[in-house]
Structure 1
Amino acid sequence: MITIFQRFLKCSFYFSPLFNLVFLFIISFGLIGGCGGGGGGGGGVVPPPEVTANKLNVEILDATISPDRNPIVTFRLTDDEGDPIGTDGVSMNWIISRIERGKSEYIDYITRVQTSPTTGESAVQAGSESSSDGSFQNLGNGIFTYTFNFALPEGFDSNITHTVGVYATKTIGSQRFVSNATFDFIPAGGQISTVRDIVRIETCNTCHDPLEAHGGARRDVKLCVLCHSTEIEDPSSGEIVEQIDPGTGNNIGFEIMIHKIHYAEELPSVQAGIPYQFEAFMDQILDFSHVAFPQDARNCTKCHTGATQSDNFKNNPTRNACGSCHDDVNFVSGTNHGGGIQLDDNNCSGCHITFFGKEFDLSVEGSHTIPVKSAQIAGVNFEIVRVESAETGAPTVKPGEHPKVTFNITTDLGETIQPTDMNFLRLTLAVPTREYSGQDYNGDGEIVSGDPTSPWTPGGENYIQATLNVPGATEGPDADGNFTHTFTAMVPNDASGSGAVGIEGYKCATVQGANQRRGGIACSSPPNSPDLNGNGIEDVGEVFNEVRFAGHNVVSYFPITDEEAVPRRMAVDTSTKCIACHGVFSRDFSVHGSIRNDSEYCALCHNPSHDTLSRQLPAVGETALTNSLDFKVFIHKIHTGEDLTKQPYLLYSPPGGTFPNQSERAVNFGEVRYPGNTADCEACHLRGTNVLIPGTGVLGDDVLPSTNHEFVRGFNTKTITETFFTQPVISVCTSCHDSLGVSADGEALTGEGHAAGPQAEGDCVNCHIAGEPLGVEEVHLPPLLPEERIIRPQPVD
């Protein structure tokens, strides 16, 4: 199994040919419920959680080397209250490593010979010493010494940096607690000047929850690098040799292995058909070939930040670090390396100089420029100034009236952008904010759930969109640079509450220095397109140096029958939650061709009425069942991914061709592995929005069931044979816990997989209401900050 995350499949309208890193059709919004204030008020405020404390804490206080060259470590053991504890029931393994003179990574003293059962090859690898091999002395008050059984070799260098490390576990009840600790010292005494501190575990744990390996006992990067070095000393010969996995020949050094794992799907070697694998314990093959980074991998500072040597990636480039991602470069032969043969790292910084602001140059920062984040781009900024009634000019748009939207578009310098100068520009209208859903926007007495013959405009009357970058679509600008558009759709005659209008769009921008290999595209339409022959490939004489630069989505609310506009409930904030793994939407991560980048906007379309009807394309005569595209359903399912019981989990890109001569393009999100822990709801949710409180969230007034359809495809038609509704609480809970049986009417659990047996949705709160022993918050994991996740206990089966 892959230990980081399975493939984050791509479902975007455009992919960068080189860096199509996880354009996952995913934005986290409305996952389980909403916060008080929108969607039906009432309910209490959930207090912040207490900080979780570890019941096992190891702190190394000192380290020395005995006259017999045995390392002696003084350490303290405490519980979650800070009280001292003994060593009974605590399993510990110890490591001691050093940084040789003129080197930058550790070499472990303790080694083992690992023989592959597959290849029969052997290799020297770093190891550790079990505490059962050494001896303890109890100094009292939770302080002990541990004396290694292992002795350092004669003539060891006592004037260089040494580091001892320990990984410890203790099982208490149904939980296994883990603690890692390290301590730097110079055996001969003196000030430590050489360290290895490039990446911090709290940075890793902004996505992982927690990052752990080898059964979960090894969790701190400081500990990992003590063993995972690119080289190791062969004790039989005293020679420094490459540290490899003998089953595959792959180097297990941290800087090589971690880069390759995170970039695996895009590695040139993997693209050429060579899987990236390791042979693990019990002959298990770990295949990382389908791992994809959840944002653009050129964003080096996603990982390289916060440590004393975080800037090493740009200031001290090495063959190991660079060649780990660019693994089609052979520094020995010079193949694919513009600098030719390089047998050491001495000349790397001579060409790959410090970055002075020149994008796409040979500096590490410059060569990793993400085109859509280029400083050359003028920027696109949206503002919706107001929404008013086209009939009365009042801020309230009453039922039967038409929303008139005043907006502006500016560059980062405040210069006005004409709507017709945008390459794509659209407004979206949705009502009501208490729960967006299909409405009778044209007043014909019928609500069309989706247009099955038009996969590019699948909304039907689930929402309304208006294209603005065509002549005559807008009026203006006025003296303030504002434009107006009046929807042809009206606020439905039976509408109440409040409504919302949002804006999306992009402008093609030229980025000098970009090309298709670097992630540039042919964005402009003919005859201005850089793709002169229209084949999507940057041929000789063509330079794909454009990007789609999208403005940040903006949503504005207006009253219909409310006195003041009431916004939709918010369960997730893209800028504080999704950004942790995905980075900035439309810059580091793309959905829908980059035009949608705010969860508040996504909810306008991804409402309970919306499903995959228009984009599914079974064979003529076949019956198919759609999947809901309600955010509180499909986002849970995407993140649960490979842990879903019902597989595959298919969503759909727009079919190619013209209806009915189209081909279905299904995307299996059942292959996604979430790098965090899905039981920590607050990794995505705003505080308190994942719990059941009457009157709020999915228990709010007028929150609607999610919808899906059964339909039969004719030659050029799709006929809906049945419509299914799944009540909000059931649809949300079964989006992760999909082994639970649900009644045909979506009103109750059948009892299958449910300990309490059959249960109507209205009775769920009897057990799962906030504050009860089986409340949603109580049966999921307590939320932890990235810096706290290292201590999250493991469940014991």
Structure 2
Amino acid sequence: MLICSLRLFIFFVSTSLWHPLATDKRIVMDKNRTSHHQWINLAAAIMLTLALAGCGGGGGGGGSATGTPTPPSSSSADIAALTAATALTMTITGVTVNNSPVVDFTVTNQAGVGMAGLTAADLRFNIAKLMPGTNGGPSIWQDYINRSNGGAVQGSQERSAAGYAFGTLTNHGDGTYTYAFATDIKNVACPAPCTDADGKALDLSDQPGLTNRVTIQQANSAYAKTAGIFDFVPDGRAVTTTRDIVSNAKCNACHSQLAAHGTRVDTKLCVTCHNPGSWVAGAPNTTVDFKVMIHKIHNAPNLPSVIAGTPYVVNGTDFSKVVFPQDVRNCTKCHDGTPGATNATAQGDNWKTQPSMQACGSCHDDVYFGASPDPAKPYQTVAHPGGVMTDNSTCAICHAAGRYTDNKDIVIAHNFPARLKAAAAKFKYNIISVTPTVAGSTPVITFSVTDPTNADAPYDIKTAAAFTAGASSTLTVKLGWNTPGKLDFGNDNNSLAFGQPISINLLGNAAVTAGATPGTFTVTASSAIPATQTGALRALMEGHPAGDVTTAGTFADRLPVKSVFKDFAITGVVAPRRAVVDIAKCNVCHGTLSLHGNNRTDEPGVCVVCHNPNATDKSRRTGVGIDGKTEEAIDFKTMIHGIHAGQADKGGFRDKGITIYGFGGSVNDFSTVVFPGKLNDCTMCHAGTSYQMTGVWDAPTAKGILGTTISTGASITDPADNLRITPIAAVCSSCHDSAATKTHMQGAFQAALFSVTQTAIDTAPRQEACAYCHGAGKLLDVKVVHGVP
């Protein structure tokens, strides 16, 4: 036993501390955040095989309420193969039911090879039935396996652990298994109080004519996550009744691989427990029914209950600050039943056709459907406009799609994002010319706004209601340029503070005049291009016309029209700026990435003109902020990483989240941001291989990338005395912000610099040597260390 323990100790030490930055808790990869690269898995598997060689084979099952599991035979080679597998597929091949169901299933790896190493401790089993809806309500899953917990009833699983039932697992040694449930589904005991959260009695009776679902969870976090799902009708008939609302692919577009409770990765598994029969006791009781809980989590900050001061807490976890990264009314982001649509589900359009008090009330939780509010829910302040509802039988009369042409129709009420996008699509910004652009000149900008849905017919911005009827309209041209000799925009020497570009308002401006071509306009820049400027000038157009999407004729809506830019040479030939972020990838989660009051939309090439290495938020602070700083960098390459990395104890990556002060006195604390996908998967945001240290990033200072300002110098208009971080260290420390990481970066070999001027960076005897280890194809390639697929 001592030899076995020693070998295991050596295994865990060697596989956990292989990286030279292992003292940084974020550099040692956590399996919950990252998938290891295949060669790391292989090395770990070999080492684990050696470690276990003296420990003997055998699996194990825990205590059982109704039976003792048969320990499957698992060799150290079987376990090593499971550890090395980068993907597992679990397929249930059949279920038979006499009293206790018997399940046959297979488990294969990414190459289709059977995996024989799973033991009782690695697997959890469940079975539920799909009960038809009554009185207009939706069909519901009801778990056969339940437990009493704190005075509530909760769906459960059979598992090899104290306090749970477990049946008999047979390992056939070739990746096939058989499991005989301990639960007799024809004689299920209903745990007290045997009701749902509202006190309605649960029905756990055997109903062999209904669709049943067996699920298997692979519960060992050391192995690739997978689940087995199988629907069948116990009396032998074909499955004709289903409830398939949300596809995993819809969830995983943002979540990469949706994983809850450690290793539960399939919504079809989730609903067998998360149904109306599962709840948490309290005052009031809290249902964990999937359709209620998921709506509330994704809309938490906007819930009337949360706004009124009642946080949304489930089992001790407060979801009140979870932010859905686009308009929550975009139901089709998650739900889609359109025949033939990618990732559509059979009942994906139930949100349109089968409204219910439970689903609708999950977000509109200030509405009460009874004769009076629930005293335990003080936020219920709005009586249901349609009167008292005792069931869901009449919901569709008013709210189903096509019933009314006002906000009673659930599709109309929730279609605002699509209608806003359609209204914005009627506008297109066009930068026609900027001339002259030589150093010392004052350019004249010629531009237009056209309607691409009407053969690019031009708008007269001086008379069109979208630009004149609403006080909310904005339209701006900005001019920026690179720091001389550098690739990054810095807007140096233009007399504007903190590296900001020249900005020209185009609405209500007498200097804007009709151009030579009908439908075009011209305006002269408010100041000249600096006499010493070289390189390229970027002109951009941004802003939002006013729309009347919400109420006809009001022009109160801000339409998020795509911003545009165009580059012009000051000297030499324009070299396109590096493309780092793919906006299509941003919009997988954001829908439409529109910021600063819908002024800047869907164009990172516009963002970087203002969010450049010379820029901080100091001009919006009046002193020391809530973060203890007098300024924060707003350089795009560091700010975006810092925002998405959040804070370690909030599900992010940083030791401390960043806070950015905005215009109008806004304080934007991003410390609670939780990135919904795999934070270490750089390809979720980056274009191509732009996240790797290749091209300009193998030696960024030498190739023209500016260091990021962390402290503005005495002159707020001249960035020469700004204190900066060298480029690679600035990017990496925007996520890896621990003291240990900083020490590593400042090492004699790495040669990163913190709090020095750009001149000091440019003239340093050695530049950052990070690419030597972390460059593309090197031993610690960023792709390898991050576990990028």
TM-score under structure 1 length normalisation: 0.73
Structure 2 residue aligned with 1:556: 566
Q: In the alignment, residue 73 of structure 1 is paired with which amino acid?
A: V
Structure 2 residue aligned with 1:221: 267
Check conservation: 1:639, 1:672, Cα contact below 8 A.
yes
Match of 2:616 among 608, 611, 622: 611
Check conservation: 2:313, 2:320, Cα contact below 8 A.
yes
Query: In 1, distance between residues paired with 2:481 and 2:536?
Result: 7
2:93 alignment partner, SS class:
strand
Structure 2 residue aligned with 1:404: 444
Structure 1 residue aligned with 2:241: 194
| CA drift at 1:57 | 2.4
Comparing both structures, which one devotes a greater share of its residues to strand?
Answer: 1
Structure 2 residue aligned with 1:337: 384
Query: In 1, distance between residues paired with 2:424 and 2:788?
Result: 43
Check conservation: 2:539, 2:567, Cα contact below 8 A.
yes
Q: In the alignment, residue 582 of structure 1 is paired with which amino acid?
A: H
Structure 2 residue aligned with 1:723: 722
Query: In 1, distance between residues paired with 2:324 and 2:661?
Result: 22
Query: In 2, distance between residues paired with 1:142 and 1:365?
Result: 47
The answer on 1:157 being equivalent to 2:159 is: no
Query: In 1, distance between residues paired with 2:752 and 2:103?
Result: 52
Output one character per residue of 1:484-513: Cα deviation in whole Å (capped at 9) or x when no partner.
223243333333333211101222223354
Check conservation: 1:384, 1:556, Cα contact below 8 A.
no
Query: In 1, distance between residues paired with 2:309 and 2:421?
Result: 36
The answer on 1:144 being equivalent to 2:177 is: yes
CA-based RMSD of the aligned residues comes to 3.4
Query: In 2, distance between residues paired with 1:702 and 1:499?
Result: 16
| CA drift at 1:56 | 3.0
Structure 1 residue aligned with 2:311: 275
Query: In 1, distance between residues paired with 2:509 and 2:214?
Result: 70
Check conservation: 1:218, 1:224, Cα contact below 8 A.
yes
Query: In 2, distance between residues paired with 1:566 and 1:609?
Result: 21
Match of 1:546 among 542, 556, 577: 556
Check conservation: 2:708, 2:725, Cα contact below 8 A.
yes
Superposed, 1:5-84 pairs within 5 Å as 54-66=86-98, 69-84=99-114
Query: In 2, distance between residues paired with 1:513 and 1:420?
Result: 23
Query: In 2, distance between residues paired with 1:268 and 1:131?
Result: 42
Match of 2:331 among 291, 296, 300: 300
2:445 alignment partner, SS class:
strand
Structure 2 residue aligned with 1:420: 462
1:762 alignment partner, SS class:
coil
Report the CA distance shift for 1:544/1:336 in structure 2 as closer, same or farther (over 3 A). farther
Query: In 2, distance between residues paired with 1:96 and 1:156?
Result: 12
Match of 1:504 among 534, 542, 545: 542
Structure 1 residue aligned with 2:168: 135
1:95 alignment partner, SS class:
strand
Query: In 1, distance between residues paired with 2:686 and 2:480?
Result: 23
Report the CA distance shift for 1:626/1:449 in structure 2 as closer, same or farther (over 3 A). farther
Superposed, 1:200-215 pairs within 5 Å as 200-214=247-261
Structure 1 residue aligned with 2:681: 680
Query: In 2, distance between residues paired with 1:355 and 1:697?
Result: 58
Superposed, 1:657-668 pairs within 5 Å as 665-668=666-669
Report the CA distance shift for 1:55/1:362 in structure 2 as closer, same or farther (over 3 A). closer
| CA drift at 1:755 | 14
Percent identity between matched residues is 32
Report the CA distance shift for 1:569/1:694 in structure 2 as closer, same or farther (over 3 A). closer
| CA drift at 1:271 | 1.4
| CA drift at 1:572 | 0.7
| CA drift at 1:144 | 2.1
Query: In 1, distance between residues paired with 2:326 and 2:739?
Result: 33
Check conservation: 1:406, 1:484, Cα contact below 8 A.
yes
Superposed, 1:548-627 pairs within 5 Å as 548-563=558-573, 565-574=574-583, 576-586=584-594, 590-618=595-623, 625-627=630-632
Output one character per residue of 1:204-263: Cα deviation in whole Å (capped at 9) or x when no partner.
11221332222x12111010001111136xxxxxxxxxx444586110100011111111
Q: Which moved more, 1:498-507 or 1:431-440?
A: 431-440
The answer on 1:431 being equivalent to 2:481 is: yes
Report the CA distance shift for 1:290/1:420 in structure 2 as closer, same or farther (over 3 A). same
Report the CA distance shift for 1:569/1:755 in structure 2 as closer, same or farther (over 3 A). closer
| Residue ranges of structure 1 left out of the alignment (5+ in a row) | 1-51, 116-121, 233-242, 280-284, 391-396, 443-447, 451-458, 515-542, 657-664, 784-797
Report the CA distance shift for 1:669/1:376 in structure 2 as closer, same or farther (over 3 A). closer
Report the CA distance shift for 1:698/1:326 in structure 2 as closer, same or farther (over 3 A). farther
Superposed, 1:233-244 pairs within 5 Å as 243-244=279-280
Query: In 2, distance between residues paired with 1:106 and 1:611?
Result: 53
Output one character per residue of 1:130-157: Cα deviation in whole Å (capped at 9) or x when no partner.
2682223445642222111111124722
| CA drift at 1:380 | 5.1
Report the CA distance shift for 1:389/1:697 in structure 2 as closer, same or farther (over 3 A). farther
Structure 1 residue aligned with 2:24: none
| CA drift at 1:371 | 7.0
Q: In the alignment, residue 557 of structure 1 is paired with which amino acid?
A: D
| CA drift at 1:273 | 1.3
Comparing both structures, which one devotes a greater share of its residues to helix?
Answer: 2
Report the CA distance shift for 1:634/1:327 in structure 2 as closer, same or farther (over 3 A). same
Output one character per residue of 1:9-31: Cα deviation in whole Å (capped at 9) or x when no partner.
xxxxxxxxxxxxxxxxxxxxxxx
Check conservation: 1:449, 1:610, Cα contact below 8 A.
no
1:178 alignment partner, SS class:
coil
Q: In the alignment, residue 448 of structure 2 is paired with which amino acid?
A: N
1:166 alignment partner, SS class:
strand
1:736 alignment partner, SS class:
coil
Query: In 1, distance between residues paired with 2:422 and 2:491?
Result: 43
Report the CA distance shift for 1:757/1:409 in structure 2 as closer, same or farther (over 3 A). closer
Match of 2:643 among 633, 638, 645: 638
Check conservation: 2:213, 2:230, Cα contact below 8 A.
yes
Superposed, 1:296-335 pairs within 5 Å as 296-305=327-336, 306-333=344-371
Report the CA distance shift for 1:64/1:742 in structure 2 as closer, same or farther (over 3 A). closer
Query: In 2, distance between residues paired with 1:464 and 1:503?
Result: 12
Report the CA distance shift for 1:247/1:733 in structure 2 as closer, same or farther (over 3 A). farther
Check conservation: 1:380, 1:549, Cα contact below 8 A.
no
Check conservation: 2:538, 2:567, Cα contact below 8 A.
yes
Query: In 1, distance between residues paired with 2:774 and 2:409?
Result: 55
Check conservation: 2:245, 2:350, Cα contact below 8 A.
yes
Structure 1 residue aligned with 2:152: 123
| Residue ranges of structure 2 left out of the alignment (5+ in a row) | 1-83, 188-204, 337-343, 373-381, 468-472, 755-764
Q: In the alignment, residue 411 of structure 2 is paired with which amino acid?
A: E
1:351 alignment partner, SS class:
helix
The answer on 1:265 being equivalent to 2:301 is: yes
Report the CA distance shift for 1:385/1:545 in structure 2 as closer, same or farther (over 3 A). closer
Match of 1:363 among 409, 414, 425: 409
Match of 2:223 among 167, 170, 176: 176
Q: In the alignment, residue 177 of structure 2 is paired with which amino acid?
A: F
Report the CA distance shift for 1:545/1:488 in structure 2 as closer, same or farther (over 3 A). closer
Q: How many residues align?
A: 635
Match of 1:773 among 770, 773, 779: 779
Report the CA distance shift for 1:88/1:549 in structure 2 as closer, same or farther (over 3 A). closer
Structure 2 residue aligned with 1:111: 146
Output one character per residue of 1:501-526: Cα deviation in whole Å (capped at 9) or x when no partner.
11012222233547xxxxxxxxxxxx
Structure 1 residue aligned with 2:195: none
